[in-house]
Structure 1
Amino acid sequence: MGPTPHRLDDDTIRVYLTCLDDKGRGRPGYVDVSSADPTKIVKVSTQPLLDIGEPGAFDDNGLMLLSLVPVDADTVYMYYAGFELCVNVRYRIFTGLAISRDGGETFGRHSRAPILDRSDTERLFRCGNFAMKERGVFKLWYVAGSDWTEVHGKMMPVYNLRYQESADGVTWSDSGTLSMALTCDDEHGFGRPWVVKRDDGTYQMFYSIRRRSFGAYRLGYAESADGINWVRKDDEMGLDVSPDGIDSDAIMYSAVVSIGAKTYCFYNGNNFGEQGFCVAELVS
């Protein structure tokens, strides 16, 4: 679940991902693949990079790795979503931080509390995060919300896209700037934004869309001049569900990386990646 590509060198892409146990609790690991042919497996991690939180913690029902930010030659920040089961609502999801001091081989929690915790305006969900560091400033795109809605007889979360900045990548505001709002009654949430900054200074965003009519995620695409205000161009994503196979019902959690002349989109298919993760290559 949630393939997160990270370029190790010209030959290798490390795809960090989250694997679920028989109780549905996620722990992150990685798969190294060839940059020339990402279907060729080079290496697989043998142990989780991080375990679930202790009982009562915000991530005691699993965590989902979502983005990594190299801070210096040895330090990498891992931002992840922590899942907590509840009684009067199904669950809450907040953002945690783990830190690697060896270039991304091993990680340890920054704290047992979330760095994006509940706030008055973002009470139930502050997660789905993508972070990058530009000119000494940490930038964070994430989803946030305080409500649930019924979809096909099941209560589902409602959240939109927020943005904020931090000087250290650890301390964040209680509320972000609304960056992308739901545009119709059919939509009830966005998932896992992935942001790419072009050479001309503009931004691309690849994200997931939850619609009542589909009952499962589809992929969206948007562009921005400043990284805050986005113009949706979903029809230009160029990637949808397949007629059959592991991505025939849903397509989600897109993450895009370019190495040399090739650009790949890693993503999940049906049931949040139950049968694995997928990769598509950009063609002109």
Structure 2
Amino acid sequence: MNWHKLGRVFAPDGTKWWAREYATLPTVLPLGGNMVRVYYASLDNDKVGRIGFVELDIRTPDKILFESAEPCLNVGTDGTFDDCGVNPSCIIERDGNFWMYYVGWQRCERVPYMIFAGLARSADGRVFERIQQTPILERTPAEPFLRSATSILPDGNGFRMWYVSAASWILVDGVQYPEYAIRTATSLDGVNWSEGQLCFSHEGGQEYGFGRPWVIRDDDRFRMWYSIRSRGAPYRIGYAESGDGLKWTRKDSEAGIETSDSGWDSEMICYSCVVDVNGGRYMFYNGNRHGQSGFGLAALAK
């Protein structure tokens, strides 16, 4: 597998009140032909996160054809799980509507944050409303701190999800971080989900977790891209394969994409979103500082 980088696609220019910086977790909705809509999260002056989007022709990714003037999903009510920020996670079409699964986060006193998954719906994909004020993935005894960053596929009469989970915290350079694992769950209605089953956890040593799994299904296997978090090293993109979606074989050396020698993605690459558009396979991903430098695009070499 080898990805050919096509360059940075978008970073906010800082003129919008809700998007002073960052374009994190690019999440793609194909619009037909070569057109795509890419949702992302930006921060305002108070570091509060909201979701907006851009539209582009994937053949000319350096030309943004439309940019949302206002957020398509705002933060939640004070005191709810998403009152400090929302990030897109994945989007599916169902019953003539668009369902956006998102990351909702709160800042905390004793640990940096809590992160859980929410769900919002839209008739046009441009303005979303929450289905409820509580997460669709709540705390469980096995997963008390973090359940979010979902990737969802149709599965028989229902849906299957892969997501990041945390059951403990560790100190890295004096800062607390969750110890992440990747789990899978199922649902008949896309709202109520089964208890998560462990797919894999970090390998120890310098590695201590993962960010945003993204799963696609080809005829013979599931493929997952994810971000690997390590002590003393920025995020990098990993890759795994599975025959059943539960038991995975990590093949990080086959991810086919690394940091560049210089520029916007020379320090870090993370939060990949892989999508098939008009016969080609593409990866949108974030660069330096978890998306502060924006997101870019790579095409799978044939």
Normalising by the smaller structure, the TM-score range is over 0.9
- 8 Å Cα contact 1:125-1:145 kept in structure 2: yes
- In 2: Cα distance, 1:133 partner to 1:282 partner: 24
Matched, 1:261 2:282: no
Moved over 3 A (4+): none
Q: How does 1:1-284 map to 2 (within 5 A)?
A: 1-72=24-95, 74-102=96-124, 104-173=125-194, 175-198=195-218, 200-214=219-233, 216-284=234-302
> Which letter maps to 1:188?
Y
- Which residues of structure 1 form unaligned runs of 5+? none
Is the 8 Å Cα contact of residues 10 and 35 (structure 1) preserved in structure 2?
no
State how far apart, in whole Å, the 1-side matches of 2:119 and 2:112 are: 23
Shift of 1:184: 2.4
CA RMSD after TM alignment: 1.2
Question: 1:237, CA displacement in angstroms?
Answer: 0.8
Answer yes or no: is the 8 Å Cα contact 1:69–1:133 preserved in 2. Answer: no
Structure 1 window deviating more from structure 2 (129-138 vs 85-94): it is: 129-138
- Partners of 1:130 and 1:25 in 2: CA distance: 23
- In the TM superposition, residue 244 of structure 1 has moved relative to its aligned partner by 1.4
RCO comparison, higher one (Cα < 8 Å, 6+) = 2
Paired-residue identity, %: 42
Letter in 2 for 1:197: R
Instruction: Kindly provide the amino acid, as one letter, of the partner of residue 275 in structure 1.
Output: S
- In the TM superposition, what is the alpha-carbon distance from 1:11 to its structure 2 partner? 2.4
Q: Is the 8 A contact 1:196 1:203 kept in 2?
A: yes
What secondary structure is seen at the aligned counterpart in 1 of 2:289? helix
Alpha-carbon offset, residue 136 of structure 1: 2.3
* Secondary structure, aligned partner of 1:2: strand
**Is 2:50–2:86's contact at 8 Å kept on the other side of the alignment?**
yes
Contact 1:204 1:222 in 2 (8 A): yes
Gaps of 5+ in 2: 1-23
1:201-256 CA-partner distances (Å, limit 9, x unpaired): 41111110101131x21100111111111111111111111111111111100011
Judge conservation of contact 1:190–1:209 (CA < 8 Å) in 2: yes
Pairwise CA distance, 1:134: 2.8
Residue identity in the other structure for 1:181: S
Does the aligned pair in 2 maintain the 1:144–1:160 contact within 8 Å?
yes
Q: Is the 8 A contact 2:153 2:216 kept in 1?
A: no
Q: Deviations over 1:13-71 (max 9, x none)?
A: 11111111122221111111102222221111111111111111100110111101111
Deviation (angstroms), 1:106: 1.9
CA distance in 2, matches of 1:45, 1:133: 29
Q: Which has the higher strand share?
A: 2
Paired with 1:261 and 1:71, the residues of 2 have a C-alpha distance of 23
Bigger drift between 105-114 and 146-155 goes to 146-155
Question: Which piece of structure 1 moves more, 19-28 or 189-198?
Answer: 19-28
